[in-house]
Amino acid sequence: MFEYTDDQTMMRDAVRDFVQTEVRPRAQAIDAAGEVPRELVAKMAGLNLLGIPFPDADGGAGGDFVSLALAIEEIARGSGSLALIVAAHTAMVGLPIHRLGPAALRGAWLPKLLSGEILGGLVLAEPNPGGAAPRLSTDQQAGVASGASLSGSGLPTLVGAAAGLLAVPVGDDVALLRADTGVTRKPVPSALGLRASGWAECTFQAVRAEGVLAGASRLLEAAGRTAVAALAVGLLAGTLDRVRPYVLERRQFGKPLAAFDPVRAFVAGMAVDLDACRLLVHRAAGLIDGGKDATRAAIVAKGYASDAAFRGARNGVQALGGYGYLTEYEVERCFRDAKFCEIALGRTDDLLQGVGREELGA
């Protein structure tokens, strides 16, 4: 069984308290507004929740990636949108800079990122819709390879509407762009889920990169997929948080819904999936902390956790019946948000094809 250190437990509990007092009461309003809740992001930055897996010397919280996964899960239990902001900013932008950036690049950007002065966003630059990994098309790679400039049009971007620095995967590398110089951002307010996470389409033509992180795509993908898996675990836990009290209180035919076998089966399935998902996520996070290759572990964690989150949310809606379809009960938001996890940083079915080929030696 996975055992947390005292520091990891303290971090998880501190985030849980913050979510209960600051996030849960506003979660519906945040989703309805469809905009990055900057006040809450600033509060998270003040608690150093944007710098969890970074050393104290760099202005971070001195934690690790397991601690970050625990924090993302707790935040997602209250708001999937806020959890995605933290996941993209920290795991997909800050961590590659910290691990693989030259000293000048780290010094220029890490203090701003860890303090929350700016947010980091990820450009999902796929050559074909639904591809397994973010990339720019071949004709766009040449400029970055020579250290010149980047071009791209209408590229979906996580946290793009609020980001100050954008990470753009290019082949095996990751280029960094200032979001306020030569980048046109078009907010996307009509997303199915995670509506307050700053969805945007970004367009940039011949914009010079701030720097290029050589060979960083592998780390970004592993860290990003593990973070998305942690988000999925949080959404699943949040679904269970909302279903459990309802089925215990709601009565049908003179008995609480919790007395009926199908409802118990729904709850049991969520609980079992939670245990399994957490172990998979923390295995991948532990590999990242150890500087080991977490590629496959991250794919497995994201694939299983994203399916479990969507399945759990679907069953949660079913358990609540007609009320599950209403925004007031919040399970429908978990359902909408969970769908993202099956698509982000590679569709689950595409990614698992790679696992299948590996198993079969193909």
Neighbours of 47 (CB within 10 A): 16
Percent of the chain residues topping a pLDDT of 90: 61
pLDDT band at 354 (very low <50, low <70, confident <90, very high): confident
Per 3-state DSSP, what percentage of the chain is helix, strand, and coil (rounded to 5)?
A: 60, 15, 25
DSSP string, 15-48: HHHHIIIIIGGGHHHHHHHTS--HHHHHHHHHTT
Task: Render pLDDT for 258-304 as a digit per residue (tens, 0 to 9).
Answer: 888 888 899 999 999 999 999 999 999 999 999 999 999 999 999 99
Task: Render pLDDT for 62-101 as a digit per residue (tens, 0 to 9).
Answer: 999 999 999 999 999 999 999 999 999 999 999 999 999 9
* pTM of the full structure: 0.91
Distance of CA 171 to the CA centre of its chain: 22
pLDDT at 129: 40
- N-to-C CA span, the chain: 33
pLDDT at 358: 82
- Residue with structure tokens 């009461």? 25
Between the CA of residue 41 and those of 97, 110, 117, 293, 316, what are the distances in Å? 21, 17, 10, 31, 29
Q: Find out whether 198 and 162 touch, Cβ atoms under 8 Å.
A: yes
Task: Render pLDDT for 151-202 as a digit per residue (tens, 0 to 9).
Answer: 888 888 999 999 999 999 888 899 999 998 888 898 887 788 899 999 998 8
Angle (CA) 171-173-175 rounded to 5° is 110
DSSP string, 276-321: HHHHHHHHHHHHHHTT---HHHHHHHHHHHHHHHHHHHHHHHHHHG
- Coil vs helix vs strand at 53: coil
pLDDT at 318: 87
In whole numbers, what is the pLDDT of the chain averaged over residues?
Answer: 88
pLDDT at 127: 46
311 burial type by CB count under 10 A (0-12 exposed, 13-18 middle, 19+ buried): middle
Which range, of 62-76, 142-156, 216-230, averages the lowest pLDDT? Answer: 142-156
> Which domains does the chain carry?
6-115 (1.10.540.10), 120-213 (2.40.110.10), 217-356 (1.20.140.10)
Which range, of 49-58, 126-135, 186-195, averages the lowest pLDDT? Answer: 126-135
